[in-house]
Structure 1
Amino acid sequence: MAPLKHLEMENSIIDECFRDFCASHGILTVEDFLLHDLYELAAFAEREANADRLKEGITVMLSLIELQCRPWLNGMELLEDLQRNKHTLSSGDNGMNSLLQGGYGEGQLTELVGPSSSGKTQFCMRAAASVAEKQEGSVFYIDTGNSFSARRIAQFICGGSDAAALRKRVLSRISCHTVYDIYTMFDTLQGLEVALRSQVQMNVNEYRLRLLVVDSISSTITPILGGSGSQGRALMVALGYMLKKLAHEHNIAVLVTNHTVGAGESGKTKPALGETWKSIPHVRLMLSRDNRNSNCTISILKHTSMPSGQTVRTITR
């Protein structure tokens, strides 16, 4: 990303004094700024004589980054992108595949929304098993809640005369990365992007990355939201567009999960992370589970090419 100086023309508060303060904490570029713990940076700013101006600079930086993260594409570019070699990846579940007319779209960010125990993690692991086995692609799985289970994924893999060898091959194509905060998330995704660019340059196609899973995205974003500050919101938007950029540039299907929160006194629930996040996913699906049996209802809340409101029931085990 660009050096901080490039932002000075857009706002004078990103001046030499602010940049020197950032540099003293190892922040030289916009990327360094996003990867840094901004609560820690704000605490250091409090100790300076010009604390108010420095904290204002941090807030302005986040606002500028949020604006610059939004991709600008005209209609012809969108059509050409749609006509490129875009495929759907089987979700591993017949009901989900039927609803989405094939599965999760490459180049798109699909969000699974639902309360606890609604099946979000199971759909993530089922998709990972399906892609690694049937599409023979690799899967990058980011686990934020210690919910990843290699044993559970192995159960989704088709058996046969050489079932043990097949499970070993499939599981070797799934790499799991444990992440507990948004700064580590940025660092992990940055490392992934570097690796993907290196593969492109070296023309490495064997078992190319087909699916990126983040279970759950809300676990890393919720702790930084709240209050009247804009830092958390800007970091959330930057993370969302970083995921969409990876999906678009490397033709990857990105699958994330999000929990639900109460929507007032009506007793209804709604997706967490608020209106700002709502615009980020290409596809948004709501999961609800009947606790009396294994039935799961999947509803389309948002889709780039399909009407919302469509539902399907499937059985999860």
Structure 2
Amino acid sequence: MPLLSSLVLPDAAAAEAAVAALQHIAPPVLSVEALLERDLEALEAQIDLPRGALAAFRKAVAHHYAPLRNASTLQDEEVLTPTGCAAIDALLGGGFRGGDVAEVVGPTCSGKTQLLLATACRASERGRNVAWVDAGSSSFSPARARSMKGRLDLIRVCFAEDAWAMLRSLDDAGRFLKPGDVCVVDAPSRVLTPNLGGDRNPQGHQLLALATRALQTLARQGVCVLVANSTARGLSDGMDDEGAFFDESWKAALGPVWSTCASLRLALAAPRDGVCRCALAKAPDGSRGEAAFRVCAEGVADVEPCDV
């Protein structure tokens, strides 16, 4: 991989500023490979560049200098998995993407499971396989999936009662899911949090790292990986406080080690008068935005003008 300092990009001034900023962080980001592997949100927190500048630079680098791949492995079109709600799909650029780990985070009753179940059912309608890993939440409902016209013959469900069972389920999912298929992990914090205990319990952080690696491995295989995460009270450093989008004091559970797992994060707020709100808190291209939706028997739907 070439060094960032040797690249020739259309916007030379912006590229020079980005390269200089990346050279002065710890550890420095010097090569194309290092830039593409590092978490975008974490890098943005370390450098002094205008919002979106680093995302634009990385996109340009990936376009011009990404490694060559065998053409037989490429898709003719980007694989998207829509949610069934036009407002949310527009916010996501058409739906959740294959090859991404997407995290949906929000308080209880904010619609996380309903949104992911609707997405899984839309995927099964299109003939895609779905692995649903129910991590200690007992949230999967065959009746609800049928009402959303999901194909139960294409949805495999595992009830993982502890962290090790969840890891085994993810390993099993990697054996049968293909590019474009979907893997949903509902509420991993339920089985991971009991293992955490600060620096005095290194095994807990090892489990977090193993879970992160398992999810990202599935994504690298072209699978659309969707994770529902709960919340923790209070604010941290202002960088990862998803509740701030709704003027609330909460953030995603499991801490900073987990926060780099997902390349996309959708924050949901508790509904008000039947209307749910969501905000794009993290995206590979640095985009942001908000949308409103409602929960219904068929999954998730757009908000009618009279509901607003």
> For each residue in 1:135-167, what CA deviation from the matched residue of structure 2 results, as whole angstroms up to 9, or x when unmatched?
21111111121110111111122xxxxxxxxx6
Q: Is 1:148 the equivalent of 2:140?
A: yes
> For each residue in 1:249-285, what CA deviation from the matched residue of structure 2 results, as whole angstroms up to 9, or x when unmatched?
2x11000011111116996111111111111101011
Higher helix share: 1
The equivalent of 1:300 in structure 2 is 280
Cα pair distance change 1:100/1:264, threshold 3 Å: closer
Question: Quick one: distance in 1 between partners of 2:268 and 2:69?
Answer: 32
Aligned amino acid, residue 294 of structure 2: I
The equivalent of 1:278 in structure 2 is 259
The equivalent of 2:227 in structure 1 is 256
Which of 79, 82, 85 is equivalent to 1:87? 79
Question: Quick one: distance in 1 between partners of 2:69 and 2:276?
Answer: 36
8 Å CA contact retained: 1:90, 1:127: yes
Residue pairs, 1:144-183, within 5 angstroms: 144=135, 145-157=137-149, 170-183=151-164
Question: Quick one: distance in 1 between partners of 2:124 and 2:68?
Answer: 29
Please state how far the C-alpha of 1:78 moved relative to its aligned partner.
Answer: 6.7
Question: Quick one: distance in 2 between partners of 1:102 and 1:184?
Answer: 33
Structure possessing the higher radius of gyration over alpha carbons: 1
Please state how far the C-alpha of 1:194 moved relative to its aligned partner.
Answer: 3.5
Please state how far the C-alpha of 1:316 moved relative to its aligned partner.
Answer: 1.4
8 Å CA contact retained: 2:99, 2:219: yes
Q: Is 1:112 the equivalent of 2:104?
A: yes
Please state how far the C-alpha of 1:192 moved relative to its aligned partner.
Answer: 2.5
TM-score for both structures, normalised by structure 1: 0.64
Question: Quick one: distance in 1 between partners of 2:198 and 2:81?
Answer: 39
Question: Quick one: distance in 1 between partners of 2:266 and 2:255?
Answer: 15
Please state how far the C-alpha of 1:79 moved relative to its aligned partner.
Answer: 8.7
Which of 245, 268, 276 is equivalent to 1:287? 268
1:124 match: secondary structure:
helix
Cα pair distance change 1:80/1:92, threshold 3 Å: farther
Q: Which moved more, 1:83-92 or 1:238-247?
A: 83-92
1:221 match: secondary structure:
helix
Please state how far the C-alpha of 1:220 moved relative to its aligned partner.
Answer: 1.7
TM-score for both structures, normalised by structure 2: 0.66
Question: Quick one: distance in 2 between partners of 1:195 and 1:87?
Answer: 18
Which runs of 5 or more structure 2 residues have no equivalent in the other structure?
Answer: 1-35, 39-60, 237-246, 297-308
Cα pair distance change 1:136/1:264, threshold 3 Å: closer
Please state how far the C-alpha of 1:297 moved relative to its aligned partner.
Answer: 0.6
Question: Quick one: distance in 1 between partners of 2:121 and 2:157?
Answer: 13
2:181 match: secondary structure:
strand
Please state how far the C-alpha of 1:116 moved relative to its aligned partner.
Answer: 0.5
Q: Is 1:234 the equivalent of 2:206?
A: yes
Cα pair distance change 1:195/1:314, threshold 3 Å: closer
Cα pair distance change 1:274/1:147, threshold 3 Å: same
The equivalent of 1:314 in structure 2 is 293
8 Å CA contact retained: 2:98, 2:225: yes
The equivalent of 1:224 in structure 2 is 195
Question: Quick one: distance in 1 between partners of 2:248 and 2:116?
Answer: 27
Identity in percent: 27
Please state how far the C-alpha of 1:117 moved relative to its aligned partner.
Answer: 0.5
Q: Note the aligned Cα RMSD (angstroms).
A: 2.6
Cα pair distance change 1:112/1:156, threshold 3 Å: same
Please state how far the C-alpha of 1:234 moved relative to its aligned partner.
Answer: 2.1
Question: Quick one: distance in 2 between partners of 1:245 and 1:209?
Answer: 14
Q: Is 1:246 the equivalent of 2:237?
A: no
Aligned amino acid, residue 259 of structure 1: S
Please state how far the C-alpha of 1:96 moved relative to its aligned partner.
Answer: 1.4
Structure 1 residue ranges, 4+ long, deviating more than 3 angstroms after superposition: 71-81, 264-267
Question: Quick one: distance in 2 between partners of 1:96 and 1:79?
Answer: 33
Q: Is 1:214 the equivalent of 2:148?
A: no
Question: Quick one: distance in 2 between partners of 1:171 and 1:78?
Answer: 39
8 Å CA contact retained: 1:114, 1:286: yes
Please state how far the C-alpha of 1:238 moved relative to its aligned partner.
Answer: 1.7
The equivalent of 2:127 in structure 1 is 136
> For each residue in 1:2-31, what CA deviation from the matched residue of structure 2 results, as whole angstroms up to 9, or x when unmatched?
xxxxxxxxxxxxxxxxxxxxxxxxxxxxxx
Aligned amino acid, residue 139 of structure 1: V
Cα pair distance change 1:219/1:131, threshold 3 Å: same
